[in-house]
Amino acid sequence: MLLLLRIKNFALIDELELEFDKGLNVLTGETGAGKSIILDAIDLVLGGKVNARTIRTGATRAAIEATFAADRDVIEWLKEREIDPLDEGSVVCSREITTTKSSLRSRSRVNGVLVNRQAIEFLRDRLVEITAQGQTVKLTIPARQRELLDCYGDRPLLAQKKQVASAWEIYRNLCSNLEKDRRCERERLQRLDLVKYQIEELESADLKDDLELEKLAIERDRLSHIVELQQLSYKAYQALYQSDSDSLAAADLLGEVESILTEMVNYDIKLNQLLEIVRTAIAQVGEAAHQINAYGASLQAEPETLQATEQRILILKQICRKYGPSLSEAIIYYQKIKQELDELQDTSAKIQKLEKQSEEAQLLLKKECEKLTNLRKKTAQRLEKQLIARLKPLAMDKVVFQCIISPIDINITGADRATFYFSPNPGEKIQPLANTASGGEMSRFLLALKASLSTSEGASQTLIFDEIDAGVSGKVARTIAEKLHQISQQQQVLCVTHQPLVAAMADAHFRVSKEIINNSGENDGLNVSEIRTVVRVKVLDNHDTRREELAQLTAGDSARDAIAFAESILAAADAHRINSKM
């Protein structure tokens, strides 16, 4: 519901603030007084088009701010975008338009947060719906007609529509995945061949130990120096135990030390411990000499083993260059492509599984669409009866209306096209609404439709009608007034009207007028005078001012008969409001 509207420097409005009420809000005034400018401001703040006349002449900036009471869906939408709702769950939409020498710029905000056009249009669909003669083109579009039918179907139909949308998304995703897998089949087969070759190569390399290359390098060094090791081991044996030269071996020298210490112990028994150390050393030297001699004796040239070792090193280095750089990384890669092989080989089964799933999803989607089609057909029959009943009191007592459901390719909205067929006059062939209805007929049709939709779940919070009653009078005008009042019991309604019968039914009445002002003053030492036209709005909040305005609408003056008529229609409107609540 629209609570507050602030306008500054927009068209003929210099500065204006309006508070609206629930129920039926009516704006009246002379033709050209600026009533539609206020509706244009609401349209603009919710994403309407900006043009060169948007900003008031002489100004460089226009600002419009509209405060709405937000419902649960709007509040959830705000939370999803991390926009905090204001106190009491209200939402403030604002738009600032500035002009430069070459262009117009505008910025939209929601609760002070900058938003893009898509966001503000999303809010618009949930906050207001503006209807005016000449602006009913959307009603002639089959997609919009289907939306209105679905809205009339209310919760059962809207719930089934969600089921179809959900089934459509599942089916579309499966088809997308299936197409992607099929498209990648050639790449899969190429990759499969490569992976098989690499696995075969790595398996033949028999990779088990990530330190094998280092160990083989050590073994290669040993095998390639067998002669040197034999010579050195023999030399070490001679130095330790049995020397072929004149010099004494280590064992001989230690034996002499043992003899000396044995003689010394005779004089100092404290040297016994040192003597034991020397004897131990003699034993260890003897053991070392024995082992090194055995080692040298065991050494034999192994040219075949050396060749095999060098060949293995070459193989492993090649593996490292291709899959490494280290052997451990090559082993990790081997494990990885083995797993990839399983996945690649499983793709054919995966495609078959996706094909089966997509077929099942398509069947489910068709079933859900059939349910939706049946609901739409039943809803169309109810809408036909109700609309005809509502149109007859609006001077369309011979009207023929049909909502025809025809098949289309399945999409997220189902498999149906809804087309409104209409014949306002007896004997005329029924045709699509866009081909037959005049502007006045379209407005009355739309009013009857809104009355039918006013209690539906998908209805907008605020409905705005701009001279929807133009060109009618008398009984039809009264019926239109009653319909507007009926709708306003479920939704807030803003209505621009010249009809006193409609204005009399208002819960809140605003008179719009133009006023000529003279902005005189001194600027840079010079006296200046500027005559400007501005739009002013007055709230008619008592019986006398409303009666005066209705008399003006009736006769153009305050003659006794006009006053009496105004009094009578106010009384009739009060009586209707009282009776409608019973």
Sequence ranges of the domains in the chain: 211-325
Tell me 430's DSSP state.
P
- More confident of the two residues 270 and 425: 270
Range of lowest pLDDT (110-114, 180-184, 578-582): 578-582
Q: What is the pLDDT of residue 160?
A: 94
* Beta strands 508-523 and 526-540, pairing class: antiparallel
Contacts of residue 179, Cβ cutoff 8 Å, sequence gap at least 6: none
d(CA 241, CA 286): 7
Mean pLDDT of the chain: 84
Q: Please say if the pLDDT value at position 132 is more than 70.
A: no
pTM of the model: 0.62
The mean pLDDT value for 441-459 works out to: 72
Long-range contacts of 359-366 (CB under 8 A, 24+ apart): 361/167, 361/170, 361/171, 361/174, 362/171, 364/167, 364/170, 364/171, 365/164, 365/167, 365/168, 365/170, 365/171, 365/410, 366/410, 366/415
- Which residue, among 287, 289, 279, has the nearest Cα to 237 in the 3D structure? 289
Tokens 């490292």 locate to 320
pLDDT reading at 443 higher than 50: yes
- Alpha-carbon span 335 to 195, nearest angstrom: 11
Residue 461, pLDDT > 50, answer yes
pLDDT tens profile 277-332: 989 988 998 888 889 888 888 888 788 888 888 888 888 888 888 888 888 888 88
Q: What does the pLDDT look like over 463-511, one tens digit per residue?
A: 888 877 776 667 778 888 888 888 888 888 998 888 888 888 899 999 9
Nearest residue to 514 via CA among 489, 540, 532: 532
Q: Is pLDDT of 514 > 90?
A: no
Whole-angstrom distance, CA of residue 197 vs CA of residue 214: 27
Percentage above 70 pLDDT, the chain: 92
Q: Is the peptide bond before 85 cis (omega within 30 degrees of 0)?
A: no
CA–CA dist 169, 150 (Å, integer): 19
Report the C-alpha gap between 252 and 270 in whole angstroms.
24
State the burial class of residue 320 (Cβ atoms within 10 Å of its Cβ: 0-12, 13-18, 19+).
middle
Hey, which bits of 73-197 come out as E strands?
Answer: 90-99, 104-110, 113-115, 128-132
